[in-house]
C-alpha cells in the first residue's frame, strides 16, 4: 500500500474521541498519524497500520 505524508485515512476502529479520520504526519517503517478531531499524534508500525486502514480519503 502506498501512503504519503499528508494523506487522510479512515481506520476501522475509532479513536477514543470518536473520530476515525487521521492524517499521516510521518511515513517510513513507523508512521505518525494525527487525529483530525482532537489533534493527538500516535506512533504505529507500518504492518499494524496497513491492517487497520478502511480506506484512503484524500
Domain-by-domain residue ranges, the chain?
8-56
Domain made up of 8-56: CATH architecture: Roll (2.30)
Cα separation, 25 vs 47, whole angstroms = 17
**What pLDDT, on a 0 to 100 scale, did the predictor assign at position 38?**
95
Between the alpha carbon of residue 6 and those of residues 12, 16, 25, 34, the distances in Å are 19, 22, 6, 10
Query: For 7-30, what is the HEC assignment?
Result: CEEEECCCCCCCCCEEEEEECCCE
Q: How confident is the model at residue 58 (pLDDT cuts 50, 70, 90)?
A: confident
Between the alpha carbon of residue 46 and those of residues 2, 3, 33, 34, 41, the distances in Å are 11, 10, 11, 15, 15
- Mind listing the pLDDT tens digit for each residue in 5-54? 999 999 999 999 999 999 999 999 999 999 999 999 999 999 999 999 99
Amino acid at each position: 500500500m502506498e501512503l504519503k505524508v499528508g494523506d487522510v485515512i479512515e481506520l476501522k476502529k475509532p479513536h477514543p474521541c470518536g473520530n476515525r479520520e487521521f492524517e499521516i504526519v510521518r511515513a517510513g517503517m513507523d508512521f505518525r498519524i494525527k487525529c483530525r478531531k482532537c489533534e493527538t499524534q500516535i506512533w504505529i508500525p507500518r504492518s499494524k497500520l496497513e491492517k487497520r486502514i478502511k480506506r484512503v480519503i484524500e
